[in-house]
Amino acid sequence: MLNNAKEPRLNRYQSFSFMNRTPVGDKKLDVSHKTVLYMEDVSVSFDGFKALNKLSLYIDDGELRCLIGPNGAGKTTLMDVITGKTRPDNGSVYFGQTIDLLQMDEPAIAQAGICRKFQKPSVFENLTVFENLELSMKADKGAWITLLATLTGEQRDRIDEVLEIIGIMSLKGQLAGILSHGQKQWLEIGMLLIQEPKVMLVDEPVAGMTHQEIDRTAELLLSLQGKHSVIVVEHDMEFVRSIAKKVTVLHEGSVLTEGTMDEVQNDPRVIQVYLGE
Ligand SMILES: Nc1ncnc2c1ncn2[C@@H]1O[C@H](COP(=O)(O)OP(=O)(O)OP(=O)(O)O)[C@@H](O)[C@H]1O
Ligand SMILES: [Mg+2]
């Protein structure tokens, strides 16, 4: 990964107060224009190759957006830019109307409420399902609160609430290591949800899942809309169809088209791009 940072970054202590997730100063999350996240004219080059090329994308508050496109289209790079892992050469990336994500580092962006689920589940196999959620909850509260602190009743209720949402309440006391691949993925989504993110980025969530697990994942992601904005990258078109409202098609680092699943699947340019793969 090239470090193409140009501007000095604020560290998490300078830029954020942990407890209320409110950036210092007047930079509260402003979604008054309905947009929770936008990027404009964003370009990223790796050794001259444009992984993102003047890309613009606008995500509404509470929206579930699907992002598709052939291999190498720039989908993961786009997530890397939003989460602060990769710095763009040009363009702007804003959280709401006022929070400039390009001025923040990865931990500060996560702390602000933008979280990401990577493809490979990374749960703690030797801890129970409950303990995994407990750990994420405490880790989110900042370094000075000890991991050994006892949970409050409210915190226990929140963990139970998340267990209901991800549908693995009956596995609460089981070691995470014995869960199926799908169950681990849901637990990991739960570990993000417990931190009450505003925006969740989910890269290829159903890869390696059984049909039943895929259907359950669709239900789960659909249930998050409204409260969270979710951007889902996925190659499984049947799955995308089952959850999609608006689909954005990426090609060669730019948005090729956006619309309903039917609109994009019948778009000759989209067909061409996929056939040409
Ligand atoms: N760190 C890097 N260094 C050099 N090239 C990179 C780097 N990261 C991504 N690329 C290149 O940028 C392009 C976009 O990659 P990206 O991973 O964003 O595509 P993608 O749409 O996520 O593809 P896939 O569907 O295969 O996951 C690819 O050509 C890739 O090889
Ligand atoms: Mg990718």
Give domain limits for the chain. 12-275
The answer to whether 210 touches 125, Cβ cutoff 8 Å, is no
pLDDT for 271: 92
User: Residue 74 Cα, ligand 1 centroid: separation in angstroms?
Assistant: 6
Q: Which residues contact 267 (CB under 8 A, 6 or more apart)?
A: 249, 256, 257, 259
For 37, list phi and psi in degrees, rounded to 5. Answer: -150, 135
Ligand closest to Cα of 254 equals 1
> What is the CB neighbour count within 10 angstroms for residue 158?
17
CA distances from 227 to 1, 35, 40, 153, 193 (A): 33, 14, 25, 23, 11
Q: pLDDT tens track of the chain, all 277 residues?
A: 444 444 444 333 333 334 344 444 447 889 888 999 999 999 999 999 999 999 999 999 999 999 999 999 999 999 999 999 999 999 999 999 999 999 999 999 998 999 998 877 789 999 999 999 998 887 765 545 556 678 888 889 999 999 999 999 999 999 999 999 999 999 999 999 999 999 999 999 999 999 999 999 999 999 999 999 999 999 999 999 999 999 999 999 999 999 999 999 999 999 999 876 5
Give CA–CA dist 256/276, Å, rounded. Answer: 14
pLDDT for 122: 83
For domain 12-275, give the CATH superfamily: P-loop containing nucleotide triphosphate hydrolases (3.40.50.300)
CA distances from 198 to 30, 36, 66, 94, 212 (A): 12, 8, 17, 13, 28
Give CA–CA dist 100/11, Å, rounded. Answer: 14
pLDDT for 261: 95
Q: Is 8 exposed, middle or buried (0-12, 13-18, 19+ CB in 10 A)?
A: exposed
pLDDT for 213: 96
Residue whose CB lies within 8 A of the most ligand 1 atoms, among 3, 47, 53, 76, for a mutation test: 76
165 lines ligand 1 (CB under 6 A): no
pTM here? 0.87
Ligand closest to Cα of 51 equals 1
DSSP-assigned letter for residue 225: B
User: Residue 13 Cα, ligand 1 centroid: separation in angstroms?
Assistant: 32
Q: What angle do CA 180, 241, 81 make, to 5 degrees?
A: 75
DSSP-assigned letter for residue 23: B
Q: Is 235 exposed, middle or buried (0-12, 13-18, 19+ CB in 10 A)?
A: middle
Q: Which two tokens stand for residue 113?
A: 């409420």
User: Residue 79 Cα, ligand 2 centroid: separation in angstroms?
Assistant: 9
190 lines ligand 1 (CB under 6 A): no
Q: Is 122 exposed, middle or buried (0-12, 13-18, 19+ CB in 10 A)?
A: exposed
pLDDT for 147: 61
pLDDT for 70: 95
Residue with tokens 């139970």: 160
User: Residue 78 Cα, ligand 1 centroid: separation in angstroms?
Assistant: 10
pLDDT for 146: 57
- Beta strand pairing call for 99-100 and 90-95: antiparallel
Give CA–CA dist 139/126, Å, rounded. Answer: 17
pLDDT for 89: 97
117 lines ligand 1 (CB under 6 A): no
